[in-house]
Structure formats: structure tokens, C-alpha cells
Amino acid sequence: MTSKKLKRSDRLLSVLDEYHETMVIMHNNPDPDAIAAGWALFLLVNQRLRKPVRLVGRGPILRAENLQFIKLLQPPIELVDEISLDAHTATVLVDCSPASVNHLLGGQIAPVAVIDHHESKDDGFRIPFRDMRPKATASASITAEYMREQRLEPAPQIATALLYAIRTEMIGARKALSRLDHSALRWLSSFAEYDVLSEIENPPLPRYYYEELLLGLDSALVYSDSAVCFLPRITAAEIVGELADLLIRCDGLQCVLCGSRVGDDLLLSSRSKGDERTALALLNQVLRGLGHFGGHLHRAGGKICVPKSGMDSDELEHELRTRWLDACGSSIRRGQRLVGRKEIARRL
Ligand SMILES: [Mn+2]
């Protein structure tokens, strides 16, 4: 007799069916991938198990595209500061890893299930269901596959959400799509609404966005093939990552570090091109003993609690810049402005 391999989604559902309800937990400041992937899991539990389910994460959500995404698609998310758990509730982590601290379980409590595509270290937890695939471009590709396996035909909203999630993750990934991603994109494309997709991709932008973009371009310093950009102050944390995405596209740059202080935290984003020095490895060296980080090979993020570092913002920036240039193997210590003020003035 041939043993037919149980589908991953069947295994997940049978694990969750042992509980009265399910709580799907997204990472803090959930992005479209966390929201769309979590929404698909929400629908699976709701429609296949017919049991109560919640989709929760810690806010806020500020990026213009992401606000537009929520406004137009209305995912069933709840933004909360904390959760209370009992033995009857199954926790499912989506788009983040059990050992990382950027979610409501805080890296201390093991979830019942985890579905993720980030690079992660060994967490030592005993977790009944794990589906962690760093080769997948998006968590949304994994959960789209679950919907398909369970023959859940996606409504236009969830199909559009999953498709948008994969597209946004694709842009930053700088790696080839996996077979899983291709087949998810093909499947979703017949259900998604492309006019809504283009409204999400071109949202109205607040005036401060342009101020901070200008500030960011003005603060960017180039050291041969790497760049560092510390923004003095920002309104929305998202600009740090957006600026890193913009800078890494610059000809001749191989690795980029952006940072800014938001409240007590110094937020960092790193990006890389090529195989030699990856954003993840560089950020690991930069943050050793100072803070937490995570992400993908070519697109990573980190956080330092400034008061706990024992340094003020300026000292910390100096330290991080030095560590970054060391990690990049750069002998140049004097940066050149990406955009020269003199060159600009000459044209005015
Ligand atoms: Mn993701």
C-alpha cells in the first residue's frame, strides 16, 4: 500500500482542531504579507473547522500603501497591545519566527503552529506544526497553497491581498521566485482585482513623506560601494526601510544601512546586492550585543533600545557607522554625499 502524504494544510487543521479557538498572530507593525497570509489562515479555520478565530498583531500601521491596502480590502485584523491566552486557544505565528521578539509572544512562549519564510535560527521550542520555508518569497505564497489544497476559492479581496503581498515581497527579495511563488501567483491572478491592486500601489502620500525623503537623500553618505544614512527624525518608522529600498537601487552601491530614532528605539534597515556581503550578515555584525535583528538575506531590519545601550544617539550612530564600515570591509572612512549640495546649488 502506498502511503499518501498528508497535505501540510490537513496537518495544520488537525492540530488546530484540538483547540476551541485559534489566534493567528502577525508580527508587530504588520505588513501586507503578514496580513494577507494571516487572513488566509483565518479563513481556513473559519471555513474548514467552523471554529472561532482571531487575527491579531501589535500596531501601528503607517505606510501609505499599507493603509490603502486595509481601507480597500478590509482584512479582519485586530491591532492590540497585548493578548491573554488560555489552554483552549491555539496560537499560530505567521510571517515571523518563534525566537524573534517582534511579535506578541515576544520570543518567550512557543506557539502551537508557525508559518514563516524568514531566515531563522534554531529556537529549541517544541512546536506541533512548523512550516518554515526561507525559499518562499512570501508567507502569502505558503498560505495561498493551503487555500488551494483545501479547495477554498478565494473571494476577490483575499486574492488581491495575497497577490499584492507576494508582489511587495518580490520587489525587495532580490532572488528568483520559487515554484511555490509562481504557482501561487498564477492561481491568484484569476481571482484578484487588478484595478484595486493599482489603487493600493499608488496611494495618496502625506506631505511629510516628501520632507523625509528629501532629508533622507540629504543625509546619505557613500563609502565606495556601501552607503550609510541616518535620518535625524521621522514621523513614520516605515521611511527607514523605504529609503533603504531606494538607495540600494543606486548604481555602484552593494550594501546600504539606514537608521533613525523613533521614540526610545533606533530602527535600522539594511539592504544588499550580490552574494558576498548580505544585508542579514552585515546587520548581525553591526548589532552584536546592541540589539535585535531579523529578516531576509538581502533585506533585514533591526532595533536598538537607545537608553539600554548606554550611549546617546550620536555616540550610537558613530559606533554603528564604524561597525558597518568594518563589516563591509571598507577602508574609506570619510563618506561622500550621495547628492552633493554644491552640484544642486549650481543648478538652481
Ligand atoms: Mn513576509
Distance from the alpha carbon of residue 118 to the mean position of ligand 1, in angstroms: 7
pLDDT of residue 173: 80
Average pLDDT of the segment spanning 309-324: 95
| CATH, range 207-341 | 3.10.310.40
If you measure from the C-alpha of residue 253 to the centroid of ligand 1, how many angstroms do you get, rounded to a whole number? 24
| Residue 157 clears pLDDT 80, i.e. is over it | yes
Cα–Cα dist 186/110, whole Å? 34
In our burial notation (b when 16+ CB lie closer than 10 A, e otherwise), range 236-251 reads: bbbbbbbbbbbbbeee
- The 10s digit of each residue's pLDDT in 103-112 is 999 999 999 9
Find the 323 Cα to ligand 1 centroid distance in Å.
Answer: 27
Confidence (pLDDT) at 223: 97
- pTM higher than 0.75, yes or no? yes
Distance 30 CA to ligand 1 centre (A): 9
Give the Å distance between the CA of 116 and the centre of ligand 1: 7
How far does Cα 165 stand from its chain's mean position?
A: 10
Nearest-angstrom CA–CA distance, 77 and 265: 25
Which of 263, 270, 261 is CA-nearest to residue 231? 261
pLDDT digits (tens, 9 = 90+) for 167-190: 999 987 878 899 999 999 999 999
* CATH node for 8-201: 3.90.1640.10
User: Residue 117 pLDDT more than 90?
Assistant: yes
For residue 29, give the 3-state DSSP assignment. coil
Looking at the chain, which residues constitute the CATH 3.10.310.40 domain(s)? Answer: 207-341
pLDDT at 1 over 80: no
321's grid cell: 557607522
Q: Name the residue type at position 255.
A: C
Judged by average pLDDT, the poorest of 196-205, 233-242, 247-256 is 233-242
Q: Average of pLDDT values for 65-79? A: 97
Centroid of ligand 1 to alpha carbon of 106 (angstroms) = 18
> Which pLDDT band holds residue 235 (cuts at 50, 70, 90)?
confident
What confidence tier does 81 reach under pLDDT thresholds 50, 70, 90? very high
Give how far Cα 168 sits from Cα of 85, 97, 140, 209, Å: 32, 20, 11, 19
Number of H helices and E strands in the chain, helices first, is 13, 13
Helix or strand run (H / E) with residue 221: strand 220-223
Residue 175 CB neighbour total at 10 angstroms: 14
What is residue 5's predicted lDDT score, i.e. its pLDDT?
81
Task: Indicate if the pLDDT at residue 2 is higher than 70.
Answer: no
- Residue 237's pLDDT is what? 82
Q: Give residue 134 CA to ligand 1 midpoint distance, Å.
A: 10
Higher confidence at residue 74 or residue 234?
Answer: 74
Smallest Cα–Cα separation from 170: which of 158, 182, 188?
A: 182
| Low-confidence winner among 230-239, 251-260, 333-342 (lowest mean pLDDT) | 230-239
How far, in Å, from the CA of 262 to the mean position of ligand 1?
A: 22
| pLDDT at 20 exceeding the cut of 90 | yes
Average pLDDT over residues 8-36: 97
Q: For residue 39, report the distance from its CA to the centre of ligand 1, in Å.
A: 13
Q: What is the Å distance from ligand 1's center to 31 Cα?
A: 8
Average pLDDT for residues 150-154, to the nearest whole number?
Answer: 98
Q: Please state, in angstroms and rounded to a whole number, the distance separating the CA atoms of residues 343 and 348.
A: 9
DSSP 126-188: --SEEEE-TTSS-HHHHHHHHHHHTT-PPPHHHHHHHHHHHHHHHHHH-SPPPHHHHHHHHHH
How far is it, in rounded angstroms, from Cα 225 to Cα 318?
A: 19
Question: What's the CA-to-centroid distance between 33 and ligand 1, angstroms?
Answer: 5
How many angstroms is it from 100 CA to the middle of ligand 1?
A: 14
Residue 27: half-sphere exposure toward Cβ, Cα within 13 Å: 22
Mean pLDDT of the chain: 94
DSSP helix/strand/coil, 240:
helix
Q: Residue 177 C-alpha to ligand 1 middle, in angstroms?
A: 14
Q: Measured in angstroms, how far is the CA atom of residue 137 from the centroid of ligand 1?
A: 7
Q: Residue 3's pLDDT is what?
A: 53
Gap from CA of 184 to ligand 1 centroid (Å): 15
What is the per-residue DSSP string for 49-99? Answer: I---EEEEE------HHHHHHHHHH---EEE-S-----TTEEEEEESS-TT
Mean pLDDT of 5-24: 97
Q: Where in the chain is the domain with CATH 3.90.1640.10?
A: 8-201
Q: How far apart are the first and last CA of the chain?
A: 79
